[in-house]
Amino acid sequence: MKIPSTRLGVLGGGQLGKMMALAAGNWHLPFFALDTSRDFPAGPFCTGFTEGNFNNYDDVLRFGKTVDALTIEIEHVNIEALFQLEKEGLVIHPKPAALQLIKDKGLQKQFYADRGIPTAAFELFENESAIREAVAQKKWTLPFVQKSRTDGYDGRGVSVIRTERDLAEKLLPGACLLEALVPIEKEIAVVVARNSRGETAAFPPVEMLFDPDANLVTFLACPARISPQIAAAAEALARKTIETYDLCGLLAVELFLTTEHQLLVNEVAPRPHNSGHHTIESCYTSQFEQHIRGVLDLPLGSTRLKVPAAVMLNLLGEPGYEGPAIYENMDQCLGMEGVYVHLYGKAMTKPFRKMGHVTVLGVTPEAAMEKALEVRALLKVKA
Ligand SMILES: Nc1ncnc2c1ncn2[C@@H]1O[C@H](COP(=O)(O)OP(=O)(O)OP(=O)(O)O)[C@@H](O)[C@H]1O
Ligand SMILES: [Mg+2]
């Protein structure tokens, strides 16, 4: 694909689309987005913004015909339109067939089981009563994790069932899967890239640290505090996973490192990912540029860290505030060395809404984490 003339389109105009557009801007690539409102984060940064619904067959089909290559920033898009565009010869990454598997957590898990990719034991269920029956028949014993097959994100389609009471009150409705509750030592993620000529490149593993209240990742540290052997195994597993899916562009692979030091694939996202945001400042190539390289079959960039350590924190809407967003103590944070604030331009804040992120670079992992804690205590999104 030719630079700078290839027209690249993305389904979705959120913050991932915005950061992709900014990366495309380095090469002056014409960049187009489809989403319901040009007031969304990507709006001001695209060459063209089409207002439409990425879940609507006609909107996606029409948009696809205006670009030379098409990608996504969100999995929940109209897949039938993508199959049609693929048939007509459009370059689409991730490939619709792989996207279809990934969109449905049930199919995704089945894919790992069929293809020898390690993942937690699971079973598919039609609904809640089938689960209660399986428990009554002692086919499943507490505790376990229930996940909706579709439409879950940011932890919203996940319910941990520990007690009889949870079984009565916390089951999610609809088609789902049950998964064994994994004894997790660490959660890590590897963002890996691939292009059509078959090259792969993995970013160093990152360690995800969770806020138990929001059920969102709050800190993300790179490099992960794991042994070189485990890091190499995690990267190898990520490469195997992207090759098995036959995907181009990025695949973010979320992994559990168990207390027995086993690596299990939890879930994947075939696009830029929260766990790769730090690469904008910390690595030779950002994940967003790498995604474009993979989608357009360009040589992949170096994934090496430029600094000893980076910590990323999500900037979430402060609990208790809802309305037009105000950023408290912005000045102070901008004055700190190695602190990079990214705002997504969302006009309205609400509790735990992802309003931006901050990457903190450090000469040691401890120094980066210490500064990240300072930033978290200072920078607040209120209304
Ligand atoms: N089998 C499991 N055993 C233990 N903990 C689990 C298991 N599955 C999920 N979790 C916990 O729940 C979190 C969210 O699960 P998962 O990543 O599958 O859902 P999600 O809604 O797609 O989340 P997100 O969009 O935030 O990545 C995991 O990061 C992990 O902390
Ligand atoms: Mg997840």
82: domain CATH number is 3.40.50.20
How much distance in Å is there from the Cα of 148 to the middle of ligand 1?
A: 11
Q: Which of 92, 112, 129 is the last residue of a domain?
A: 92
**pLDDT average, residue stretch 287-301:** 98
- Are 203 and 314 in a shared domain? yes
pLDDT value for 2? 87
pLDDT value for 214? 61
Q: Which of 164, 180, 196 is the last residue of a domain?
A: 180
Residue 254 bridge partners (DSSP): 189, 267
Residue 148 bridge partners (DSSP): 176
- Are 173 and 288 in a shared domain? no
Range scoring the smallest mean pLDDT among 26-30, 154-158, 183-187, 233-237? 154-158
How much distance in Å is there from the Cα of 379 to the middle of ligand 2?
A: 25
Ligand 1, pocket-test mutation among 122, 144, 158, most atoms within 8 A of CB:
158
How much distance in Å is there from the Cα of 26 to the middle of ligand 2?
A: 30
Range scoring the smallest mean pLDDT among 39-53, 93-107, 143-157, 349-363? 143-157
Percent share of the chain, pLDDT over 90: 95
Taking 80 as the threshold, does the pLDDT of residue 210 lie above it?
Answer: no
- Are 258 and 190 in a shared domain? yes
**pLDDT average, residue stretch 212-227:** 83
pLDDT band at 152 (very low <50, low <70, confident <90, very high): low
Q: Rounded distance, CA 356 to CA 378, Å?
A: 14
Of the listed ligands, the closest to the CA of 158 is 1
- Are 206 and 319 in a shared domain? yes
- Are 240 and 334 in a shared domain? yes
In a domain, 115, yes or no: no
In a domain, 108, yes or no: no
Expressed as residue numbers, the domain containing 62 is 8-92
Ligand 1, pocket-test mutation among 266, 275, 316, 353, most atoms within 8 A of CB:
266
- Are 131 and 262 in a shared domain? no
In a domain, 116, yes or no: no
- Are 52 and 138 in a shared domain? no
Taking 80 as the threshold, does the pLDDT of residue 299 lie above it?
Answer: yes
In a domain, 55, yes or no: yes
What pTM, to 2 d.p., does this model score? Answer: 0.96
**pLDDT average, residue stretch 166-181:** 95
Tell me if 327 sits within 8 A of 345, measured CB to CB. Answer: no
- Are 229 and 206 in a shared domain? yes
In a domain, 310, yes or no: yes
- Are 250 and 296 in a shared domain? yes
Q: What is the CATH number of the domain that holds 142?
A: 3.30.1490.20
How much distance in Å is there from the Cα of 292 to the middle of ligand 2?
A: 23
Ligand 1: which residues within 6 Å by Cβ? 120, 145, 147, 152-158, 179, 181-182, 184, 187, 210, 254, 266-267
**pLDDT average, residue stretch 346-351:** 96
Q: Which pLDDT tens digit goes with each residue over 70-107?
A: 999 999 999 999 999 999 999 999 999 999 999 999 99
Residue 288, classified by CB atoms within 10 Å of its CB into exposed (0-12), middle (13-18) or buried (19+), is buried
Q: Which pLDDT tens digit goes with each residue over 220-262?
A: 999 999 999 999 999 999 999 999 999 999 999 999 999 999 9
Determine which residue's CA is closest to atom 16 belonging to ligand 1.
Answer: 155
Name the domain count of the chain.
3
Q: Which pLDDT tens digit goes with each residue over 116-133?
A: 999 999 999 999 999 999
Taking 70 as the threshold, does the pLDDT of residue 216 lie above it?
Answer: no
Determine which residue's CA is closest to atom 8 belonging to ligand 1.
Answer: 145
Q: Which of 129, 155, 180 is the last residue of a domain?
A: 180
Q: What is the largest CA-CA distance in the chain?
A: 62
How much distance in Å is there from the Cα of 193 to the middle of ligand 1?
A: 22
> How many C-beta neighbours within 10 Å does residue 224 have?
24
- Are 172 and 195 in a shared domain? no
Q: What is the CATH number of the domain that holds 206?
A: 3.30.470.20
Name which of 223, 191, 256, 215 is nearest 369 in CA terms. Answer: 223
Q: Rounded distance, CA 135 to CA 173, Å?
A: 16
In a domain, 378, yes or no: yes
- Are 309 and 200 in a shared domain? yes
In a domain, 112, yes or no: no
In a domain, 17, yes or no: yes
- Are 234 and 312 in a shared domain? yes
How much distance in Å is there from the Cα of 265 to the middle of ligand 2?
A: 10
